[in-house]
Protein backbone atom coordinates (compact mmCIF):
# COMPACT_ATOMS: atom_id res chain seq x y z
CA UNK A 1 0.00 0.00 0.00
CA UNK A 2 1.38 3.40 -1.00
CA UNK A 3 2.47 5.69 1.81
CA UNK A 4 3.72 9.24 1.78
CA UNK A 5 5.21 11.63 4.27
CA UNK A 6 3.10 14.66 5.07
CA UNK A 7 3.25 17.51 7.55
CA UNK A 8 0.55 17.08 10.18
CA UNK A 9 -0.34 19.30 13.10
CA UNK A 10 -1.78 17.69 16.23
CA UNK A 11 -3.70 20.16 18.34
CA UNK A 12 -4.34 19.64 22.04
CA UNK A 13 -5.76 21.67 24.83
CA UNK A 14 -3.65 22.31 27.94
CA UNK A 15 -4.06 23.98 31.29
CA UNK A 16 -1.13 26.21 32.27
CA UNK A 17 -0.16 27.12 35.78
CA UNK A 18 -0.27 30.76 36.87
CA UNK A 19 3.46 31.13 36.20
CA UNK A 20 3.19 29.53 32.77
CA UNK A 21 0.18 31.66 31.83
CA UNK A 22 2.03 34.81 32.87
CA UNK A 23 5.12 33.79 30.89
CA UNK A 24 3.08 32.98 27.79
CA UNK A 25 1.15 36.24 28.06
CA UNK A 26 4.43 38.17 28.17
CA UNK A 27 5.64 36.20 25.18
CA UNK A 28 2.46 36.98 23.22
CA UNK A 29 2.89 40.68 23.92
CA UNK A 30 6.55 40.69 22.93
CA UNK A 31 5.83 38.76 19.73
CA UNK A 32 3.17 41.29 18.76
CA UNK A 33 5.47 44.20 19.64
CA UNK A 34 8.41 42.89 17.60
CA UNK A 35 6.16 42.16 14.62
CA UNK A 36 4.70 45.68 14.66
CA UNK A 37 8.09 47.38 15.08
CA UNK A 38 9.58 45.39 12.22
CA UNK A 39 6.59 46.17 10.01
CA UNK A 40 6.83 49.87 10.84
CA UNK A 41 10.55 49.85 10.05
CA UNK A 42 10.00 48.19 6.68
CA UNK A 43 7.16 50.56 5.78
CA UNK A 44 9.17 53.65 6.67
CA UNK A 45 12.22 52.42 4.78
CA UNK A 46 10.16 51.94 1.64
CA UNK A 47 8.18 55.19 1.98
CA UNK A 48 11.16 57.44 2.80
CA UNK A 49 14.14 55.89 1.03
CA UNK A 50 12.54 53.42 -1.37
CA UNK A 51 14.50 50.55 0.20
CA UNK A 52 13.42 47.03 1.06
CA UNK A 53 14.43 45.72 4.47
CA UNK A 54 15.20 42.01 4.53
CA UNK A 55 14.44 39.50 7.25
CA UNK A 56 18.13 39.32 8.18
CA UNK A 57 18.24 43.08 8.68
CA UNK A 58 15.19 43.03 10.95
CA UNK A 59 16.84 40.23 12.93
CA UNK A 60 19.85 42.49 13.48
CA UNK A 61 17.50 45.28 14.51
CA UNK A 62 15.91 42.97 17.08
CA UNK A 63 19.31 42.42 18.67
CA UNK A 64 19.82 46.18 18.80
CA UNK A 65 16.37 46.76 20.30
CA UNK A 66 17.09 44.33 23.11
CA UNK A 67 20.16 46.36 24.09
CA UNK A 68 18.18 49.57 24.55
CA UNK A 69 16.61 50.55 27.85
CA UNK A 70 13.19 51.11 26.29
CA UNK A 71 12.89 47.56 24.96
CA UNK A 72 14.92 45.72 27.58
CA UNK A 73 11.82 43.69 28.46
CA UNK A 74 12.28 41.75 25.22
CA UNK A 75 15.20 39.94 26.88
CA UNK A 76 12.87 38.46 29.51
CA UNK A 77 11.20 36.05 27.07
CA UNK A 78 12.57 33.40 24.76
CA UNK A 79 14.17 34.73 21.59
CA UNK A 80 12.80 31.87 19.47
CA UNK A 81 9.19 33.10 19.10
CA UNK A 82 10.50 36.64 18.50
CA UNK A 83 12.64 35.44 15.60
CA UNK A 84 9.70 33.41 14.30
CA UNK A 85 7.54 36.54 14.24
CA UNK A 86 10.08 38.15 11.91
CA UNK A 87 9.93 35.11 9.63
CA UNK A 88 6.14 35.31 9.63
CA UNK A 89 6.39 38.96 8.60
CA UNK A 90 8.72 38.01 5.77
CA UNK A 91 6.26 35.34 4.63
CA UNK A 92 3.46 37.91 4.70
CA UNK A 93 5.47 40.26 2.49
CA UNK A 94 6.34 37.44 0.11
CA UNK A 95 2.65 36.59 -0.25
CA UNK A 96 1.90 40.27 -0.84
CA UNK A 97 4.54 40.69 -3.54
CA UNK A 98 3.36 37.52 -5.29
CA UNK A 99 -0.21 38.84 -5.37
CA UNK A 100 -1.71 36.20 -3.08
CA UNK A 101 -2.65 38.50 -0.19
CA UNK A 102 -2.92 42.13 0.75
CA UNK A 103 -0.27 44.24 2.46
CA UNK A 104 0.65 43.10 6.00
CA UNK A 105 -1.17 44.95 8.75
CA UNK A 106 -0.27 45.76 12.33
CA UNK A 107 -1.31 43.29 15.02
CA UNK A 108 -3.90 44.51 17.50
CA UNK A 109 -3.75 43.68 21.19
CA UNK A 110 -7.49 42.99 21.31
CA UNK A 111 -8.31 41.65 17.86
CA UNK A 112 -5.25 39.73 16.72
CA UNK A 113 -4.64 36.09 17.52
CA UNK A 114 -2.55 35.47 20.64
CA UNK A 115 0.07 32.95 19.59
CA UNK A 116 3.76 32.13 19.79
CA UNK A 117 5.72 29.64 17.71
CA UNK A 118 8.70 27.67 19.01
CA UNK A 119 11.18 25.83 16.83
CA UNK A 120 13.29 22.87 17.96
CA UNK A 121 15.66 25.04 19.99
CA UNK A 122 12.81 26.55 22.00
CA UNK A 123 11.23 23.43 23.48
CA UNK A 124 12.01 19.94 24.71
CA UNK A 125 9.71 16.97 24.10
CA UNK A 126 10.35 13.60 25.71
CA UNK A 127 8.00 10.75 26.68
CA UNK A 128 4.84 12.81 26.32
CA UNK A 129 6.19 15.75 28.32
CA UNK A 130 6.56 19.11 26.59
CA UNK A 131 8.61 21.84 28.23
CA UNK A 132 8.94 25.27 26.60
CA UNK A 133 11.86 27.67 26.94
CA UNK A 134 11.90 29.82 30.08
CA UNK A 135 9.67 27.31 31.87
CA UNK A 136 10.70 24.93 34.61
CA UNK A 137 7.67 22.63 34.43
CA UNK A 138 6.12 20.78 31.47
CA UNK A 139 2.72 21.78 30.13
CA UNK A 140 -0.33 19.99 31.49
CA UNK A 141 -1.60 18.75 28.10
CA UNK A 142 -4.85 16.86 27.60
CA UNK A 143 -3.70 14.09 25.24
CA UNK A 144 -7.02 13.50 23.50
CA UNK A 145 -5.40 11.33 20.80
CA UNK A 146 -2.03 9.63 20.53
CA UNK A 147 0.87 11.04 18.58
CA UNK A 148 2.52 8.94 15.85
CA UNK A 149 5.05 6.62 17.49
CA UNK A 150 8.73 7.39 17.10
CA UNK A 151 8.17 10.94 15.75
CA UNK A 152 9.15 14.17 17.47
CA UNK A 153 7.58 17.56 16.74
CA UNK A 154 9.56 20.05 14.66
CA UNK A 155 7.51 23.11 15.61
CA UNK A 156 5.28 23.90 18.58
CA UNK A 157 2.70 26.68 18.44
CA UNK A 158 0.93 27.89 21.57
CA UNK A 159 -2.32 29.85 21.19
CA UNK A 160 -5.02 31.31 23.40
CA UNK A 161 -8.43 31.96 21.84
CA UNK A 162 -10.85 34.73 22.73
CA UNK A 163 -12.73 32.51 25.16
CA UNK A 164 -9.57 31.96 27.24
CA UNK A 165 -8.80 28.39 26.18
CA UNK A 166 -5.17 27.39 25.72
CA UNK A 167 -4.04 25.14 22.86
CA UNK A 168 -0.74 23.70 21.74
CA UNK A 169 -0.19 22.52 18.18
CA UNK A 170 2.64 20.09 17.42
CA UNK A 171 3.81 19.97 13.81
CA UNK A 172 5.53 16.78 12.75
CA UNK A 173 6.25 14.64 9.73
CA UNK A 174 4.01 11.60 9.58
CA UNK A 175 3.53 8.72 7.16
CA UNK A 176 0.00 8.41 5.80
CA UNK A 177 -1.14 5.26 3.99
CA UNK A 178 -3.43 5.55 0.99
CA UNK A 179 -6.89 4.02 1.28
CA UNK A 180 -7.77 0.91 -0.75
CA UNK A 181 -9.09 1.86 -4.21
CA UNK A 182 -12.84 1.86 -4.77
CA UNK A 183 -14.85 2.06 -7.97
CA UNK A 184 -17.33 4.78 -6.99
CA UNK A 185 -17.31 8.46 -7.94
CA UNK A 186 -19.49 11.24 -6.62
CA UNK A 187 -20.47 14.74 -7.65
CA UNK A 188 -20.97 17.27 -4.86
CA UNK A 189 -23.18 20.35 -5.15
CA UNK A 190 -23.01 22.82 -2.27
CA UNK A 191 -26.08 24.68 -1.12
CA UNK A 192 -27.76 26.43 1.79
CA UNK A 193 -30.97 24.48 2.39
CA UNK A 194 -28.98 21.25 2.02
CA UNK A 195 -25.30 21.66 2.82
CA UNK A 196 -24.38 19.31 -0.03
CA UNK A 197 -26.36 17.30 -2.54
CA UNK A 198 -24.68 14.18 -3.89
CA UNK A 199 -25.04 12.66 -7.34
CA UNK A 200 -26.34 9.50 -5.66
CA UNK A 201 -29.49 11.44 -4.77
CA UNK A 202 -28.61 11.92 -1.11
CA UNK A 203 -28.92 15.32 0.49
CA UNK A 204 -26.94 16.21 3.60
CA UNK A 205 -28.96 18.68 5.68
CA UNK A 206 -27.35 21.95 6.64
CA UNK A 207 -26.92 21.92 10.45
CA UNK A 208 -26.92 25.76 10.59
CA UNK A 209 -24.89 25.91 13.78
CA UNK A 210 -24.60 29.69 13.65
CA UNK A 211 -28.29 30.30 13.03
CA UNK A 212 -29.36 27.91 15.78
CA UNK A 213 -27.20 29.75 18.31
CA UNK A 214 -28.16 33.20 17.03
CA UNK A 215 -30.55 33.99 19.90
CA UNK A 216 -28.02 33.04 22.60
CA UNK A 217 -25.28 34.95 20.82
CA UNK A 218 -27.45 38.05 20.47
CA UNK A 219 -28.23 38.06 24.20
CA UNK A 220 -24.54 37.67 25.04
CA UNK A 221 -23.54 40.50 22.70
CA UNK A 222 -26.20 42.81 24.13
CA UNK A 223 -24.81 42.04 27.56
CA UNK A 224 -21.34 43.05 26.36
CA UNK A 225 -22.65 46.34 24.97
CA UNK A 226 -24.22 47.26 28.31
CA UNK A 227 -20.97 46.83 30.27
CA UNK A 228 -18.40 49.54 30.80
CA UNK A 229 -15.41 48.90 28.48
CA UNK A 230 -12.32 47.97 30.45
CA UNK A 231 -14.23 46.71 33.50
CA UNK A 232 -14.12 43.16 34.81
CA UNK A 233 -17.81 42.69 34.03
CA UNK A 234 -17.13 43.70 30.45
CA UNK A 235 -14.32 41.15 30.21
CA UNK A 236 -16.54 38.40 31.66
CA UNK A 237 -19.39 39.23 29.28
CA UNK A 238 -17.01 39.31 26.32
CA UNK A 239 -15.58 35.91 27.31
CA UNK A 240 -19.10 34.48 27.52
CA UNK A 241 -19.86 35.65 23.97
CA UNK A 242 -16.52 34.27 22.81
CA UNK A 243 -17.36 30.87 24.29
CA UNK A 244 -20.54 30.77 22.20
CA UNK A 245 -18.55 31.61 19.08
CA UNK A 246 -16.01 28.92 19.95
CA UNK A 247 -18.73 26.31 20.42
CA UNK A 248 -20.23 27.19 17.03
CA UNK A 249 -16.84 26.88 15.35
CA UNK A 250 -16.02 23.59 17.10
CA UNK A 251 -19.33 21.99 16.15
CA UNK A 252 -19.02 23.17 12.56
CA UNK A 253 -15.46 21.86 12.20
CA UNK A 254 -16.43 18.52 13.71
CA UNK A 255 -19.34 18.15 11.29
CA UNK A 256 -17.25 19.14 8.25
CA UNK A 257 -14.43 16.78 9.24
CA UNK A 258 -16.83 13.84 9.50
CA UNK A 259 -18.52 14.70 6.20
CA UNK A 260 -15.27 15.18 4.26
CA UNK A 261 -13.76 12.00 5.71
CA UNK A 262 -16.83 10.03 4.73
CA UNK A 263 -16.76 11.34 1.14
CA UNK A 264 -13.05 10.56 0.80
CA UNK A 265 -13.38 7.05 2.23
CA UNK A 266 -16.38 6.03 0.12
CA UNK A 267 -15.34 7.46 -3.27
CA UNK A 268 -12.29 7.24 -5.49
CA UNK A 269 -13.17 10.39 -7.44
CA UNK A 270 -14.84 13.49 -6.00
CA UNK A 271 -16.02 16.29 -8.27
CA UNK A 272 -16.86 19.74 -6.88
CA UNK A 273 -17.45 23.16 -8.35
CA UNK A 274 -15.08 26.11 -8.07
CA UNK A 275 -17.33 28.48 -6.15
CA UNK A 276 -16.36 32.13 -5.72
CA UNK A 277 -17.31 32.26 -2.05
CA UNK A 278 -15.70 35.65 -1.46
CA UNK A 279 -17.81 37.22 -4.20
CA UNK A 280 -20.96 35.53 -2.89
CA UNK A 281 -20.39 37.03 0.55
CA UNK A 282 -21.05 40.46 -0.96
CA UNK A 283 -24.72 39.57 -1.11
CA UNK A 284 -26.09 40.97 2.16
CA UNK A 285 -29.11 38.66 2.14
CA UNK A 286 -27.09 35.46 1.84
CA UNK A 287 -23.75 36.38 3.45
CA UNK A 288 -24.70 35.03 6.87
CA UNK A 289 -26.04 31.74 5.55
CA UNK A 290 -23.02 31.25 3.27
CA UNK A 291 -20.59 31.94 6.10
CA UNK A 292 -22.47 29.53 8.35
CA UNK A 293 -22.30 26.79 5.68
CA UNK A 294 -18.51 27.22 5.35
CA UNK A 295 -18.13 25.83 1.81
CA UNK A 296 -14.53 26.98 1.58
CA UNK A 297 -13.61 25.02 4.69
CA UNK A 298 -15.22 21.89 3.28
CA UNK A 299 -13.29 22.24 0.03
CA UNK A 300 -10.04 22.72 1.94
CA UNK A 301 -10.64 19.51 3.88
CA UNK A 302 -11.51 17.56 0.74
CA UNK A 303 -8.36 18.86 -0.96
CA UNK A 304 -5.80 17.76 1.59
CA UNK A 305 -7.57 14.54 2.56
CA UNK A 306 -7.81 13.48 -1.08
CA UNK A 307 -4.09 14.11 -1.43
CA UNK A 308 -3.28 12.17 1.73
CA UNK A 309 -5.38 9.10 1.01
CA UNK A 310 -4.84 8.66 -2.72
CA UNK A 311 -8.15 9.99 -3.98
CA UNK A 312 -8.79 12.21 -6.99
CA UNK A 313 -10.44 15.59 -6.48
CA UNK A 314 -11.67 17.33 -9.63
CA UNK A 315 -12.75 20.97 -9.57
CA UNK A 316 -14.84 22.13 -12.53
CA UNK A 317 -15.24 25.68 -13.75
CA UNK A 318 -17.59 27.89 -11.75
CA UNK A 319 -19.35 29.04 -14.93
CA UNK A 320 -20.45 25.54 -15.91
CA UNK A 321 -24.31 25.68 -15.86
CA UNK A 322 -24.78 22.52 -13.82
CA UNK A 323 -28.21 23.50 -12.46
CA UNK A 324 -29.66 24.32 -15.89
CA UNK A 325 -28.27 21.26 -17.72
CA UNK A 326 -30.36 18.10 -17.82
CA UNK A 327 -28.33 15.22 -16.44
CA UNK A 328 -30.24 12.73 -18.65
CA UNK A 329 -30.08 14.27 -22.12
CA UNK A 330 -27.70 17.22 -21.73
CA UNK A 331 -30.32 19.80 -22.67
CA UNK A 332 -29.55 23.33 -21.47
CA UNK A 333 -32.42 25.59 -20.49
CA UNK A 334 -32.07 29.33 -20.82
CA UNK A 335 -33.63 30.36 -17.52
CA UNK A 336 -34.03 28.58 -14.19
CA UNK A 337 -34.84 30.97 -11.31
CA UNK A 338 -33.67 30.10 -7.82
CA UNK A 339 -37.23 29.71 -6.59
CA UNK A 340 -37.65 26.65 -8.83
CA UNK A 341 -36.43 23.71 -6.76
CA UNK A 342 -37.82 20.95 -9.02
CA UNK A 343 -38.19 21.14 -12.79
CA UNK A 344 -39.04 19.05 -15.84
CA UNK A 345 -36.71 18.93 -18.83
CA UNK A 346 -38.57 20.27 -21.91
CA UNK A 347 -36.54 17.98 -24.20
CA UNK A 348 -36.79 14.53 -22.58
CA UNK A 349 -39.42 15.07 -19.91
CA UNK A 350 -37.13 13.99 -17.05
CA UNK A 351 -38.11 15.22 -13.60
CA UNK A 352 -35.21 16.79 -11.67
CA UNK A 353 -34.50 17.96 -8.18
CA UNK A 354 -32.46 21.10 -8.76
CA UNK A 355 -29.59 20.30 -6.39
CA UNK A 356 -29.33 16.58 -7.17
CA UNK A 357 -29.38 17.33 -10.91
CA UNK A 358 -26.58 19.87 -10.39
CA UNK A 359 -24.54 17.25 -8.52
CA UNK A 360 -25.03 14.70 -11.32
CA UNK A 361 -24.12 17.23 -13.99
CA UNK A 362 -21.07 18.23 -11.93
CA UNK A 363 -19.96 14.58 -11.80
CA UNK A 364 -20.41 14.12 -15.54
CA UNK A 365 -18.51 17.33 -16.28
CA UNK A 366 -15.67 16.34 -13.96
CA UNK A 367 -15.33 12.88 -15.49
CA UNK A 368 -15.29 14.45 -18.96
CA UNK A 369 -12.53 16.84 -17.93
CA UNK A 370 -10.57 13.98 -16.35
CA UNK A 371 -10.84 11.86 -19.50
CA UNK A 372 -10.48 14.46 -22.24
CA UNK A 373 -9.06 17.58 -20.66
CA UNK A 374 -10.57 20.99 -20.13
CA UNK A 375 -12.81 22.87 -22.54
CA UNK A 376 -14.50 19.78 -23.91
CA UNK A 377 -18.13 19.12 -24.75
CA UNK A 378 -20.29 19.88 -27.78
CA UNK A 379 -22.31 23.03 -28.23
CA UNK A 380 -25.56 23.23 -26.31
CA UNK A 381 -28.76 24.57 -27.79
CA UNK A 382 -30.67 26.95 -25.58
CA UNK A 383 -34.34 26.26 -25.08
CA UNK A 384 -37.01 28.26 -23.41
CA UNK A 385 -37.65 28.29 -19.74
CA UNK A 386 -37.78 24.99 -17.90
CA UNK A 387 -41.08 23.70 -16.60
CA UNK A 388 -41.05 24.39 -12.86
CA UNK A 389 -43.11 21.97 -10.84
CA UNK A 390 -42.30 23.09 -7.32
CA UNK A 391 -41.12 26.34 -5.82
CA UNK A 392 -39.42 26.83 -2.51
CA UNK A 393 -36.83 28.83 -0.67
CA UNK A 394 -33.55 29.34 -2.50
CA UNK A 395 -31.17 26.56 -1.57
CA UNK A 396 -28.18 27.68 -3.61
CA UNK A 397 -25.95 30.57 -2.96
CA UNK A 398 -26.18 32.43 -6.24
CA UNK A 399 -27.43 32.07 -9.77
CA UNK A 400 -25.40 30.35 -12.46
CA UNK A 401 -23.78 32.42 -15.13
CA UNK A 402 -23.95 31.41 -18.73
CA UNK A 403 -21.05 29.79 -20.45
CA UNK A 404 -19.76 26.21 -20.46
CA UNK A 405 -16.14 25.24 -20.07
CA UNK A 406 -16.48 21.63 -19.02
CA UNK A 407 -19.98 20.46 -19.83
CA UNK A 408 -21.04 16.81 -20.06
CA UNK A 409 -21.43 15.32 -23.53
CA UNK A 410 -24.91 14.85 -24.98
CA UNK A 411 -26.73 11.82 -23.66
CA UNK A 412 -24.76 11.67 -20.43
CA UNK A 413 -26.67 10.00 -17.63
CA UNK A 414 -25.98 9.56 -13.97
CA UNK A 415 -22.54 7.99 -13.59
CA UNK A 416 -23.32 6.22 -10.32
- 3-state DSSP of the chain: CCEEEEEEEEEEEECCCHHHHHHHHHHHHHHHHHHHHHHHHHHHHHHHHCCCCCHHHHHHHHHHHHHCCCCHHHHHCCHHHHHHHHHHHHHHHHHHHCCCCCCCCCCCCCCCCEEEEECHHHEEEECCEEEECCCCCCCCEECCCCCCCCCCCCEEEEEECCCCCEEEEEEEEEEEECCCCCCCEEEEEECCCEEEEECCCCEEECCCHHHHCHHHHHHHHHHHHHCCCCCHHHHHHHHHHHHHHHHHHHHHHHHHHHHHHHHHHHCCEEEEECCCHHHHCCCCCCHHHHHHHCHHHHHHHHHHHHHHCCCEEEEECCCCCCCCECCCCCCEECCCCCCEEEEECCCCCCEEEHHHHHHHHHHHHHHHHHHHCCCECCCCCEECCCEEEEECCCCCCCCCCCCCCECCCCCCCCCC
Residues 309-314, mean pLDDT to the nearest whole number: 93
Among candidates 409, 397, 396, 415, which has minimal Cα distance to 354?
396
Residue 383 pLDDT > 60? no
Characterize 337-359 residue by residue with b for buried, 16 or more Cβ atoms within 10 angstroms of its Cβ, and e for exposed. Answer: ebebbbbebebeebebbbbbbbb
Residues 319-336, mean pLDDT to the nearest whole number: 88
Q: Return the pLDDT at 56.
A: 94
Q: Please give the share of the chain, as a percent, with pLDDT higher than 70.
A: 89
Among candidates 173, 174, 176, 183, which has minimal Cα distance to 312?
183
393-410 per-position pLDDT tens digit: 333 333 333 333 333 333
pLDDT band at 414 (very low <50, low <70, confident <90, very high): very low
Q: Return the pLDDT at 391.
A: 35
Q: Return the pLDDT at 385.
A: 44
Q: Return the pLDDT at 253.
A: 96
Partners of 131 in beta bridges: 124
Q: Return the pLDDT at 394.
A: 36
Residue 330 pLDDT > 80? yes
Residues 166-183, mean pLDDT to the nearest whole number: 93
35-47 per-position pLDDT tens digit: 999 999 999 999 9
Segment among 211-215, 294-298, 334-338, 404-408 with least mean pLDDT: 404-408
Active site residue 273: yes
Burial of 190 (0-12, 13-18, 19+ CB in 10 A): buried
Catalytic residue among 23, 117, 189, 292: 189
Segment among 321-335, 347-361, 392-406 with least mean pLDDT: 392-406
Residue 412 pLDDT > 70? no
12-23 per-position pLDDT tens digit: 999 999 999 999
Residue 158 pLDDT > 70? yes
Active site residue 175: no
Q: Are residues 120 and 154 in contact, defined by beta-carbon separation less than 8 angstroms?
A: yes
Active site residue 189: yes
Catalytic residue among 23, 117, 273, 353: 273
Q: Return the pLDDT at 373.
A: 60
Domain ranges of the chain: 3-177, 178-416
- Full-model pTM: 0.83
Residue 183 pLDDT > 80? yes
64-120 per-position pLDDT tens digit: 999 999 999 999 999 999 999 999 999 999 999 999 899 999 999 888 889 999 999
Catalytic residue among 23, 292, 353, 355: 355
pLDDT band at 249 (very low <50, low <70, confident <90, very high): very high
Amino acid sequence: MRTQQVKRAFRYRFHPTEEQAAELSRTFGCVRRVYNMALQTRREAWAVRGERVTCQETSALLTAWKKTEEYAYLRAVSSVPLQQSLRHLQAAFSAFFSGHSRHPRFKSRKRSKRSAEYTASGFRYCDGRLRLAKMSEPLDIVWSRPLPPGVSPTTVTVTQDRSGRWFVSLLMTDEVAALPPVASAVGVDAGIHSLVALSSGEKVPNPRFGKNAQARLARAQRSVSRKQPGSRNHDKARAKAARIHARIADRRNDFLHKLSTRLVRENQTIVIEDLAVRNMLRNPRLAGAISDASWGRLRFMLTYKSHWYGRELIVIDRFCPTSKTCSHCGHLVADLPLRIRNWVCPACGAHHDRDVNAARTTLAAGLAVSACGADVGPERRLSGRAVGVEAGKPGRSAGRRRGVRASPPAGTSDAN
